[in-house]
Amino acid sequence: MIFCPLYSGSSGNSVFVASQDTKILVDAGMPGKSIESALKLINQNPNDIDGIFITHEHSDHIKGAGIVSRRYNIPIYANENTWKAMESKIGNIKEHNIKIINNESVDIKDMHIVNYNISHDAAAPIGYAFYSGNKKACIATDLGYFSDEVKNIIKDADVILLESNHDVEMVKFGPYPYPLKRRILSDVGHLSNEACGKAIVDIMNDKQKHIILGHLSKTNNFPDLAYQTVINILKDNYIEIGRDISLNLARRDMPSDVIDF
């Protein structure tokens, strides 16, 4: 399988996931031209995309979904409540490209895609796990807290994009108005750097994992701070980078490293 965050952060999110026969975008929260440019940078053709899977209806996850779907005739997959919440924001979608997810899983060619509930202030937010052969990749961002459901589905994944959104003190003393600070720090907000580190400790087992820290806030975080906070928590729990896990950061404004696993 191949996994690559195209964009990750409060400005916009999109992830490319591929197996031997299937190519998927998870979210398209940047303008259509930006999505096209990112795919070109990793030598992928938008015409080959089999589906766009939406996690939730916030603009940083759906901004370019309608444009990309119309331009390349790509189906958009979302659960019913998310469709209702986003359909007025993405423009007209051809009937055959509207795919309502009614079950916990979808199969496209050689890829099995499972969705699971996450805690975020959206209509019906979900994360995704992608399976092909004996490989598994998971996307777990926009998490108000690290629930048992999320833990149980991602703990055996080979590759995980995991939210490390903010530093709690930066939120508390930062420029945001109080209601927005409360939202970010709540159980339907975002996962902090510290919570992310603890989540990684909770999912450690005998399987070596490649973890990518994603959805970093531009205002309430720094890449080095997120990385070092997580590293310190892992060290305190005797988890060694390179031996037990590999750890990377997803970039905000360009594709991150392509992981082929």
| Range 159-175 average pLDDT | 98
H/E element holding 14? strand 14-18
pLDDT digits (tens, 9 = 90+) for 242-251: 999 999 999 9
DSSP 127-164: EEEEEETTEEEEEE-S-SS--HHHHHHHTT-SEEEEE-
pLDDT digits (tens, 9 = 90+) for 130-153: 999 999 999 999 999 999 999 999
Domain extents in the chain: 2-260
How many CA atoms within 13 Å lie on the side-chain side of 179?
Answer: 0
pLDDT band at residue 59 using 50, 70 and 90 as cut-offs: very high
pLDDT band at residue 160 using 50, 70 and 90 as cut-offs: very high
Please state, rounded to an integer, the average pLDDT across all residues of the chain.
97
CATH 3.30.420.10 fits 2-260, yes or no: no
Query: What is the model's pTM?
Result: 0.97
